[in-house]
Structure 1
């Protein structure tokens, strides 16, 4: 697998294979995954973090009373669910946090093949996947730099768990943010008027420019509200797809954001109008990272406009990869393919054909090295 900053110039990611065998030791261990059959549905494994610190997880329910929900006005406020991942002194004695809470897993099992048609409609126990963060483990003393994560359109924050936990294992506090009504499913602590305890997506496949505008504007407002609610300043933001768009635009709008990573998010509004960050440029570090399997004229045009302003903006490309290689699907989809629950074409369409022992470290190294330069832990 290679990374290239310009067409025709390819640079081997020298660190992509560093620690790859250990990274996937848990996922590949005998008995760690079993195909659906007499023993039950298929069990998926996420790769372990590679940093020196164990990671603790805490889930927070944040309510913004100054805004109504754009997708369901009956709610009357804007609610967010976030997970705070922090380096901890020890993790033993605290349970590993599940990737999906039980209610969310039940909804996702139904929604997964609708949102991502290549995923299997049955045969997977989505509730059984554990992260490598320990629920309730106390954080280390002192403060650490904070990173916010915004997932792709139609995806929940949970599908960015692996990268977020790896970053936290190196000393950052990582806040993964759900955008309810947009995310596939979000599980809240309880019900309230206007929504069930598990809220599912309002997005449809035929998304138009107006809906996309609402989605990005709402996400930017969500990220800024998290900064307000948690009293944060001088943070980094990274996001995938629509989350990458929101991360770049939030960098433009909020000086509290010191650096941002856009993982394959467009910088226009579908109708050709550029977001202000692309139109005006930025004076703070911004990484544009994409894959060769998703690259198209629209992405090139909007990114090239931003790059044309100069400034601290860098573009990188992962080859032999596809759009969801920047998420947990980079590790999960090859397991589903190997178990016969996905086709080879489906795997290639979602994450590319490169081995996850290469792609997972490559994405982690790309994001971690960027923030190590501009917002060191």
Structure 2
């Protein structure tokens, strides 16, 4: 999760960061929003949502034309453009739902909150979709925060000119699930990124027969929208990060430890769902038969950047996870002092007895730093770790930016330099199918029923 900005925020211990850093972070974001950068939901509605990109068909079968369309400039919606996501290629239509999960055994590590709250999205093969609306990639309120915060985390993204709330997924809200037990995949996004930036890959994997659960890590993710405001937080919670968490070893350790705990907690909640219970903290409706679709004997995890670090270590720590894909996440801690090497995570020190795929790019900004921990991982003799490389690509090519950045460049809202820095010069017609194929093929091969 490389960033080129200086790290501000206060020091973080293994149990959390200082209240002073959190207050500073919240005040900065609030100031940006109040200054008018975020706009309002009413203003977005007044501009109109315009074409959604869903069309009359979300056809299956891997049409090359669909992938090419995703690389073109988004359709105009008033003065703003709407970027499009590529359609999934698998044989199944997909449903989608969100769950609000509360871990009352943990306090939040980033802010003085009495519990740890996690928002997840489940994308799954649907039994029927007629009458169930297609879901947007992100909600209106999350989109308003996204357009202010994410250009700060990813310099070069436009600060205006995009109607982020208008981008549609290809999945149908709360559609009933197929009753066939499916492998379950957990997704952890990159540091500072929301789970919504992994929509395209999640839909692709679900269309090929997986139940994909994408996890937001509040306090870490740029923005997380909850069902409602509480007495101790606002409805939309913003990131506490300022710059690259790897520049501060204590913050980085807290971030990865928290992500691993979140992943394991979500897996616990899915077990409740599979047993016929409703894990949603407010008792919100769960799509029909979603619990029956979960085959928790076949669980995988994939993550980008910090998410890749977290799922790799979770694979090592939790035997319920049978395989994992690390999309360019380092497997070592940052050094405690200049000139020293950071400590390897246990997964890199000791290896694993289950499959792990390391997938990188030739445009990663610190290839030597990444190589140290990945080489250690690959050196273990049992041969469970594999590696793939994307050429002419950069770090965020594993996210929805792979198709968004070229559309923003074509619309004149992003320079070629900034697009290449974010995702590389590789065309989405090449990058999207390759990432999808590598990840899907890996899980299809390795997630056989165990025990």
TM-score (norm 1): 0.91
Residue 95 in 1 paired to residue 133 in 2? Answer: yes
Q: Distance in 2 between matches of 1:221 and 1:59?
A: 19
Q: Distance in 1 between matches of 2:180 and 2:154?
A: 41
Displacement, 1:88? Answer: 0.8
Q: 1:1-377 residue pairs with structure 2 within 5 A?
A: 19=62, 21-24=64-67, 27=70, 33-35=74-76, 39-73=78-112, 75-205=113-243, 207=245, 208-231=248-271, 232-271=296-335, 272-294=342-364, 296-311=367-382, 312-375=384-447
Checking the alignment, whether the CA contact within 8 Å between 2:308 and 2:325 is kept in structure 1 is yes
Q: Distance in 2 between matches of 1:160 and 1:261?
A: 14
Q: Distance in 2 between matches of 1:103 and 1:64?
A: 24
SS of 2:148 mapped into structure 1: helix
Change (3 A) 1:310 1:193: farther
Ranges of 4+ aligned residues in structure 1 off by more than 4 Å: none
Q: Distance in 1 between matches of 2:400 and 2:261?
A: 25
- Deviations along 1:94-140, one digit per CA (max 9) or x if unpaired, are 11111111110110111121011110011000000001111111111
Q: Distance in 2 between matches of 1:77 and 1:290?
A: 35
Displacement, 1:35? Answer: 4.7
**Residues paired across the two proteins, number:** 355
Displacement, 1:299? Answer: 0.3
Alpha carbon RMSD of aligned pairs, Å? Answer: 1.6
Q: Distance in 1 between matches of 2:422 and 2:130?
A: 35
Larger radius of gyration: 2
Q: Distance in 2 between matches of 1:53 and 1:301?
A: 40
SS of 1:257 mapped into structure 2: coil
Displacement, 1:330? Answer: 0.3
Displacement, 1:252? Answer: 0.3
Change (3 A) 1:40 1:160: same
Displacement, 1:206? Answer: 5.1
SS of 1:279 mapped into structure 2: helix
Change (3 A) 1:99 1:376: farther
Checking the alignment, whether the CA contact within 8 Å between 2:71 and 2:403 is kept in structure 1 is no
Displacement, 1:19? Answer: 3.6
- Please, which runs of 5 or more residues in structure 1 have no aligned partner? 1-17
SS of 1:56 mapped into structure 2: strand
- Please, which runs of 5 or more residues in structure 2 have no aligned partner? 1-60, 272-295, 336-341
SS of 1:145 mapped into structure 2: strand
Q: Distance in 2 between matches of 1:114 and 1:20?
A: 35
Checking the alignment, whether the CA contact within 8 Å between 1:35 and 1:339 is kept in structure 2 is no
SS of 1:155 mapped into structure 2: coil
SS of 1:42 mapped into structure 2: strand
Checking the alignment, whether the CA contact within 8 Å between 1:55 and 1:87 is kept in structure 2 is yes
Q: Distance in 2 between matches of 1:358 and 1:157?
A: 23
Q: Distance in 2 between matches of 1:233 and 1:151?
A: 23
SS of 2:170 mapped into structure 1: strand
Checking the alignment, whether the CA contact within 8 Å between 1:72 and 1:194 is kept in structure 2 is no
Displacement, 1:354? Answer: 1.0
TM-score (norm 2): 0.76
